[in-house]
């Protein structure tokens, strides 16, 4: 059954988060962006409102929302400020490896604690020397009794400066690439954990980003999330869950840019009429609208697949890639409609542009999504049509003949090079077009 409508519960959630975003986030987003100071107070409000952590299963005291509900909520927050959306929903990124894992005691301890109290959790695969190439991480995990000792630096960690808990990926042996990667839940206050200064950024300045350094930090056995060899797969499965959410960041931001541009186009007059009266502006708005709609559909589909436990890495990549690139294009088109005013810091478009520029970088760049998709289409994709060599071709040359009779009596052969179809009991001696020998022709009818 295919159904594109939201349930009553989902519509209620959308309304609630929309109101929160307009009331609590929109009025202050530009202020905190100017300050380059991510506001913990807003994160706390989103926790109190039940918007943060809504994906924690009910079993651990959470609301048990699915990823479709996550996508709905994220779109609303991102429409007000995608930097704050990144911060608010970063707990879901940090918790995803725990939820995917089978470590019941870790779920019981950390998910329950995060559901009950305002605690932040970050996620770190990236390092100063690597981002895309996850298997080449260097942060070292050395076996120590039944636990591990961590040494090294994780970088670009969203909420790294604020998080109480961290999902840290490290390697027992950098040379063994993905086979050496393991994962741990680490606490901020543990010995040897140091947090770097907030990294100043071009956009999403309302989200905290920092490096984390470990010096002989001991991780007890109970906090091992993935043993060596299991960590890489855990990180990839995490991205399957979280990439659709990056798509929702794009949908929300692009939707706002479209709405602001529409408003402006109706108010701004040139040559005696509103610029919205020009077909070139109308067509731009139509394209922008279409991109928002497509991005939302792809994002919701990928989120739905996760909720249905369908293997979804391809849909997740498509959603992330399309929505983040579409958002950049939509916001850029909005800026073109605003023209000079769009380029100022007095209108919201320049912040939107700086903010959405990140979407095609984090959680796998657009190039990495292209690698995943091209690998799939040229590798594991299962075509529905027969191979070209097996394409059944029937010619109904004699229109007076009965169709069925003609079908039953005809034999057809295809030249493997130029595609010429020869009708006859035998293949021709050679192709009359490209001279390929007849022995290479393949019978394509009867199929
Ligand atoms: C604001 C912000 C927040 C972030 N938050 C987090 C976080 O919370 N946790 C975390 O772990 N990380 C986080 N990241 C890191 C982010 O995931 C990485 O920046 C991203 O994966 C890209 O890695 P990189 O910057 O090292 O680029 P590189 O991997 O060095 O890539 C550089 C360029 O080369 C391209 N490239 C690389 N390999 C290939 C290839 N094989 N084929 C074609 N092109 C290629 C890339 O697409 C890119 O254009 C964050 C980053 C930023 C900027």
Question: For the segment 272-324, what is each residue's pLDDT rounded down to a tens digit?
Answer: 999 999 999 999 999 999 999 999 999 999 999 999 988 889 999 999 999 99
Could you tell me if residue 264 is inside a domain?
yes
361 and 242 share one domain: yes
178 and 136 in contact (C-beta within 8 Å)? no
Cis peptide before 174 (omega within 30 of 0): no
Q: Give me the domain span that covers residue 414.
A: 407-447
At residue 148, does pLDDT exceed 90?
yes
The beta strand positions in 377-429, using DSSP E, are: 412-414, 421-423
| Separation of CA 330 and ligand 1 centre (Å) | 23
CATH number at residue 416: 2.20.28.10
pLDDT band for 3, please (50, 70, 90 cuts): confident
Query: Which helix (H) or strand (E) is 224 found in, with range?
Result: strand 224-226
* Shortest-distance atom of ligand 1 to CA 133: 29
Q: Is the CB of 348 under 6 A from ligand 1?
A: no
Residue nearest to ligand 1 atom 17, measured at CA = 362
**How many CA atoms are closer than 13 Å to the CA of 66, on its beta-carbon side?**
14
Over 90: is that where the pLDDT of 77 sits? yes
In this predicted structure, the answer to whether residue 124 has a pLDDT above a threshold of 90 is: yes
Is any atom of ligand 1 closer than 6 Å to the C-beta of 371?
A: yes
Pocket test for ligand 1, best of 354, 365, 368 (most atoms within 8 A of CB): 365
Listed residues 361, 380, 399: the one ending a domain = 380
State pTM to two decimals: 0.95
97 lines ligand 1 (CB under 6 A): no
Q: Are residues 366 and 431 in the same domain?
A: no
Q: Best of 82, 83, 132, 243 to mutate for ligand 1, by most ligand atoms within 8 A of CB?
A: 132
Task: Clarify whether residues 249 and 342 are in a common domain.
Answer: yes
Same domain? For 259 and 310 the reply is yes
Tell me the sheet residues that pair with 210.
157
Q: Which atom of ligand 1 is nearest to the CA of 129?
A: 26
CB of 125 shorter than 6 A to ligand 1: yes
Q: Is there a single domain that holds both residue 360 and residue 318?
A: yes
Domain-ending residue, one of 332, 362, 380:
380
174 in ligand 1 pocket by Cβ < 6 Å?
no
Instruction: Please check whether residue 254 is in contact with residue 292, taking contact to mean a CB–CB distance below 8 angstroms.
Output: yes
For ligand 1, say whether the CB of 131 is within 6 Å of any of its atoms: yes
Give the pLDDT of residue 395: 76
Question: 165-171 and 121-124: which strand pairing?
Answer: parallel
How many Å lie between the centroid of ligand 1 and the Cα of residue 78? 21
Both 316 and 247 in one domain: the answer is: yes
pLDDT mean over 99-122: 98
**Domain-embedded: residue 284:** yes
Q: How far is the CA of 247 from the centre of ligand 1 (A)?
A: 17
The atom number, within ligand 1, closest to the CA of 204 reads 1
Residue at 49 is within a domain: no
Ligand 1 atom 26, closest CA = 131
pLDDT at 394 over 90: no
pLDDT of amino acid 408: 85
Which of 89, 156, 208, 236 to mutate to test ligand 1, by most ligand atoms within 8 A of the CB atom?
156
Residue 336 is predicted with a pLDDT of 98
Among 106, 93, 118, 99, CA closest to 56: 99
Helix (H) or strand (E) segment spanning residue 271:
none
Q: In the chain, what percentage of residues exceed pLDDT 90?
A: 92
Quote the pLDDT of residue 312.
81
pLDDT score for 185: 98
Res 80: pLDDT? 98
The residue-averaged pLDDT of 14-28 equals 98
Distances (CA, A) of 220 to 149, 185, 217, 227: 9, 10, 10, 13
Q: What are 39-71's pLDDT values in tens digits?
A: 999 999 999 999 999 999 999 999 999 999 999
C-beta 129 within 6 A of ligand 1: no
The chain-wide mean pLDDT, for the chain, equals 96
Burial class of residue 90 in the structure, from the number of CB atoms within 10 Å of its CB (0-12 exposed, 13-18 middle, 19+ buried)? buried
Asked if 296 and 372 sit in the same domain, the reply is yes
Is there an atom of ligand 1 within 6 Å of 157 CB?
Answer: yes
Final residue of a structural domain among 344, 363, 380: 380
Confidence band of 402 (pLDDT split at 50, 70, 90):
confident
pLDDT above 90 for 123: yes
How many separate domains does the chain show?
2
Check pocket membership of 137 for ligand 1, CB cut-off 6 A. Answer: no
Tell me what percent of the chain is helix, strand and coil, each rounded to the nearest 5: 50, 15, 30
Q: Among 123-132, 322-331, 383-392, where is mean pLDDT lowest?
A: 383-392
Claim to verify: residue 260 and residue 358 sit in the same structural domain: yes
pLDDT of res. 322 = 98
Residue 391: inside a domain, yes or no? no
Distance between CA atoms of residues 426 and 411, nearest Å:
8
Our answer on whether the CB atom of 235 is closer than 6 Å to any ligand 1 atom is no
| pLDDT average, residue stretch 126-153 | 98
CA of 293 to the centre of ligand 1 (A): 27
pLDDT of residue 399: 72
pLDDT of residue 153: 98
385 lies in a domain? no
Instruction: Look at residue 334 and tell me if it is in a domain.
Output: yes
Please report whether residue 236 resides in a domain: yes
Claim to verify: residue 324 and residue 267 sit in the same structural domain: yes
Asked if pLDDT for residue 396 goes beyond 80, the answer is no
> Which run of H or E residues covers position 153?
strand 147-158
- The residues annotated with a catalytic role in the active site are 363
Same domain, 374 and 411: no
Does residue 122 belong to any structural domain of this protein?
no
- Structure confidence at residue 37 (pLDDT): 87
Are residue 430 and residue 347 in the same domain, yes or no? no
Report the CATH number that the domain containing residue 372 is assigned in CATH: 1.20.140.10
User: Are 274 and 361 members of one domain?
Assistant: yes
């Amino acid at each position: 059954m295919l159904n594109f409508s939201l349930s009553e519960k989902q519509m209620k959630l959308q309304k609630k988060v929309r109101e929160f975003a307009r009331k609590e986030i929109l009025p202050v987003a530009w202020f905190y962006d100017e300050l380059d100071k991510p506001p913990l107070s807003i994160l706390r409000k989103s926790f109190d409102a039940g918007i943060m952590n809504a994906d924690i299963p009910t079993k651990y005291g959470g609301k048990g929302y699915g990823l479709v509900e996550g996508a709905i909520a994220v779109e609303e927050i991102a429409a007000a400020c995608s930097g704050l959306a990144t911060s608010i929903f970063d707990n879901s990124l940090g918790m995803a490896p725990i939820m995917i894992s089978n470590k019941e005691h870790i779920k019981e301890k950390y998910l329950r604690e995060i559901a009950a109290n305002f605690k932040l959790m970050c996620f770190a695969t990236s390092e100063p020397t690597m981002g895309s190439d996850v298997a080449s991480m260097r942060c070292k995990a050395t076996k120590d009794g039944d636990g591990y000792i961590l040494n090294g630096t994780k970088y670009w960690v969203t909420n790294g400066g604020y998080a109480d808990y961290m999902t840290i990926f490290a390697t027992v042996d950098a040379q063994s690439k993905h086979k050496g990667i393991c994962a741990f839940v680490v606490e901020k206050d543990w010995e040897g954990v140091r947090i770097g200064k907030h990294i100043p950024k071009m956009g999403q300045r309302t989200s905290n980003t920092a490096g984390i350094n470990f010096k002989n930090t001991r991780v007890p056995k109970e906090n091992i999330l993935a043993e060596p060899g299991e960590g890489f797969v855990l990180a990839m499965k995490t991205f399957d869950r979280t990439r659709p959410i990056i798509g929702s960041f794009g949908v929300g931001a692009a939707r706002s840019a479209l709405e602001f541009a529409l408003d402006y186009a109706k108010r701004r007059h040139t040559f005696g009429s509103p610029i919205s009266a020009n077909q070139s502006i109308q067509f731009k708005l139509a394209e922008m609208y279409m991109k928002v709609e497509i991005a939302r559909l792809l994002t919701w589909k990928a989120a739905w697949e996760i909720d249905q436990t369908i293997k979804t890495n391809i849909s997740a990549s498509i959603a992330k890639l399309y929505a983040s690139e579409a958002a950049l294009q939509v916001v850029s088109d909005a800026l073109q409609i605003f023209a000079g005013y769009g380029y100022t810091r007095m209108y919201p478009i320049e912040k939107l542009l700086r903010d959405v520029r990140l979407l095609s970088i984090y959680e796998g760049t657009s190039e990495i999504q292209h690698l995943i998709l091209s690998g799939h289409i040229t590798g594991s994709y299962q075509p529905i049509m027969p191979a070209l060599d097996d394409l059944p071709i029937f010619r109904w040359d004699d229109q007076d003949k009965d169709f069925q009779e003609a079908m039953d009596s005809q034999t057809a052969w295809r030249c493997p090079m130029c595609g010429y179809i020869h009708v006859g009991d035998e293949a021709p001696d050679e192709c009359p077009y490209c001279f390929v020998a007849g022995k290479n022709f393949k019978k394509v009818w009867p199929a």
